[in-house]
Amino acid sequence: MKSIRFNSIKNIHKLSVAPMMDCTDRHFRMIMRKISSEALLYTEMIVAQSLIYTNKKEKFLDFNKEESPLSIQFGGDNPEILKEAARMAQDWGYDEINFNVGCPSPRVCSGNFGASLMKEPEKVAKCIESLKKNCSLPVTIKHRIGVDNEDSFINLNNFVRDIANAGADRFTVHARKAILKGLNPKQNRTIPPLKYDVVKKLKKLNPNLLIEINGGFKNIDESLEALNHFDGVMIGRSVYKHPLRWSEIDQKIYGLNKKTKSASDIIISLIPYIDNHLTNGGKSWDICKHLINLVEGIPKARIWRNQISIKSIKKELDIEYLLKSTSMLQEMGY
């Protein structure tokens, strides 16, 4: 079990990469860790009930030690099940636990967790209490500013204060409300308007709470501006689709004096990891579906991505080809 870094939430995690289903798996997190050694990374959401009742727990829980600091995100609504999940997360060596009360997926909400739980603050409080009592890790929560027509500021403020009293260590607030009927998850990421002013008011009225903002941040400069008002910034689709645009996180956000890595630097540094994955029966596409996002904005970038994608999908990509194609990027200074 890893030692716990006290006060790590406030002192280290100024910027985090949001948990995203089908995106933030262990391979993407390894790529992201080559870009930033400091940003907090998240697992995809894990349904606590699925974790408890599976005989393949390593499928959900395993990660590479290089990924830390790493938060595991749970979805669920049963305090007894979350109690067991909390113990597993600590024993497995995670740095913190995050509780999902923001996902608008119909499948998730039909299971009475995700964004629909914002309508039941008492139940959320019991879940947070159960997580806190059964581990010594920081326990955080990710939520929206409201759900459907229950989106008044009074409701939001009361929700946050109730959950703070239950022991939540940090609040990650997606500055959009969730519309559970009429919008799909993708639409819920774009159609409900961003309301940063609501989250600013929440922070102003609760200065002693750690409040991180999420939603719509496209670059480091926007994140730096947000840090003037909030304790942290969570970034999502922008960093997944355009990871290299965030290559100066450690320098600009954390003030570290280090060289910015190019796409070829990152790919070459991952060669031992990719080779090990392939040697152990893994598929090249598992990693390359994320890796191709590193290469954009240069001559023949699309050709490079297509070649890597096709060979990966056809199971024809090997380390030799990857090194050869990456050397071409180096020659172009990329």
| Residues annotated catalytic, as ranges | 103
CA 246 to chain centre: 15
In the numeric block, which tokens belong to residue 139?
């326990």
Which H or E run contains 41? strand 41-42
* Residue 74: C-alpha distances to residues 77, 174, 229, 244 (Å): 10, 17, 28, 28
Three-class secondary structure of residue 257 per DSSP: coil
Distance CA 284, CA 317 (A): 7
In the numeric block, which tokens belong to residue 90?
């600590």
* 211: phi then psi, degrees, rounded to nearest 5: -125, 120
In this structure, the chain runs to a length of 334
| DSSP of 278-300 | HHTT--HHHHHHHHGGG--SSTT
Q: What is the DSSP letter of 37?
A: S
Q: Which long-range contacts (CB under 8 A, 24 or more apart) does 56-60 make?
A: 57/88
Of 290, 319, 221, 258, the closest CA to residue 41 belongs to 290
Which amino acid type is present at position 80? E
Of 206, 220, 289, the closest CA to residue 250 belongs to 220
Distance CA 291, CA 242 (A): 11
